[in-house]
């Protein structure tokens, strides 16, 4: 059992997240619900700080580099050319999942499409052939 330093309630150890301190596993001082609430509050106070952190941590770029990439694409999806990102209001950073190399910025529809085809060009070529022969597009 452990007492949460935020809500003051004593809870089971599995109610506390794990982290490493100098290579040693430890339990957080806040319980998971309190930690989640704290993160929501931080995000609401400064969403751009959170966005900058995620871009740097996940993709190694700054918001300025994101904006430059978007400008180089004429503020459009690199696949379909739409100027509206759909989804969460921004174009998605598409990247190679093996090398983490950024391929471009996509609308959420195109990004989801690539994901549904497992980023496999052969599947996409087969889908294109299918649409041209069976889908009345050819």
Predicted confidence at residue 138, as pLDDT, reads 57
Q: Residue 124, Cα to own-chain centre: how many angstroms? A: 23
pLDDT digit of tens for each residue in the chain (138 aa)? 999 999 999 999 999 999 999 999 999 999 999 999 999 999 999 999 999 999 999 999 999 999 999 999 999 999 999 999 987 789 999 999 899 999 999 999 999 999 999 999 999 999 999 998 997 765
The residue ranges of DSSP E strands in 2-138, in sequence order, are 2-3, 10-11, 16-21, 24-31, 92-95, 102-106
Domains of the chain: 1-45 (no CATH), 46-138 (3.40.1800.10)
Predicted confidence at residue 59, as pLDDT, reads 96
Instruction: Confirm if 26 and 19 have CB atoms less than 8 A apart.
Output: yes
pTM: 0.76
Helix (H) or strand (E) run with residue 23 in it? none
């Amino acid at each position: 059992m452990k007492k949460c330093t935020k809500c003051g309630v004593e809870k089971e150890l599995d109610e506390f997240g794990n982290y490493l301190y100098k290579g040693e596993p430890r339990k957080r001082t806040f319980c998971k619900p309190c930690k989640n609430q704290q993160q929501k509050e931080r995000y609401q106070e400064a969403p751009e700080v959170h966005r900058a952190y995620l871009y740097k941590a996940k993709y190694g770029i700054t918001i300025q580099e994101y904006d430059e990439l978007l400008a180089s694409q004429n503020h459009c999806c690199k696949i379909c050319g739409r100027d509206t990102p759909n989804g969460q209001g921004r174009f998605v950073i598409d990247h190679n999942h093996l090398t983490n190399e950024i391929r471009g910025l996509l609308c959420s529809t195109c990004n989801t499409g690539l994901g549904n085809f497992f980023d496999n060009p052969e599947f996409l070529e087969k889908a294109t052939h299918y649409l041209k022969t069976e889908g009345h597009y050819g």
